[in-house]
Amino acid sequence: MKVALVQISPILQDINKNFIQHLEFIEKARKQNVDLVIFPELSLTGYRLRDLVPEVAINPNHHNLFHELKQLSKEISIVLGFVEEKERGQYFNSAAFLSNGKTLHIHRKVFLPNYGMFEEAKFFNQGKIFSAFQTPFGKTGLLICYDFLHYGANYALFSQGADIIIVLSAAPGRGTSEKQAFASSHMWELMGETISRFSTLFLIYCNRVGFEDGKSFAGGSFIYNPEGKLIARASYVDEDFLIQGINLKDLSKARQRLLYKRDNKPEVILRSLNKAVIENEN
pLDDT over 90 (residue 170): yes
In the predicted model, what is the mean pLDDT of the chain?
A: 95
> Strand 77-87 to strand 90-99: parallel, antiparallel, or no bridges (unpaired)?
antiparallel
- Cα separation values, 6 from 41, 56, 200, 221, Å: 11, 21, 24, 9
Residue type at 226 in one-letter notation: P
pLDDT greater than 70 at residue 134: yes
Alpha helices in 57-147 (DSSP H): 64-72, 120-123
How far apart are the C-alpha atoms of 222 and 85, rounded to whole Å?
30
Q: Round to whole Å and give the CA distance between 149 and 9.
A: 22
* Digit-coded pLDDT (tens) for 18-47: 999 999 999 999 999 999 999 999 999 999
Q: Which CATH superfamily is domain 2-281 in?
A: Carbon-nitrogen hydrolase (3.60.110.10)
What whole-number distance in Å separates Cα of residue 109 and Cα of residue 149?
12
40-74 per-position pLDDT tens digit: 999 999 999 999 999 999 999 999 999 999 999 99
Q: Where are the domains positioned within the chain?
A: 2-281
Residue 172 DSSP one-character state:
B
Do 205 and 192 form a contact (C-beta atoms < 8 A)? yes
Rounded to an integer, the average pLDDT of 225-234 is 98
β-partners of residue 207 are: 169
Split at pLDDT 50, 70, 90, the class of 214 is confident
Residue 147 CA to residue 159 CA, distance in Å, equals 16
What pTM value is reported for the model? Answer: 0.96
State the pLDDT at residue 193: 98
At residue 179 the predicted structure's pLDDT band, cuts being 50, 70 and 90, is: low
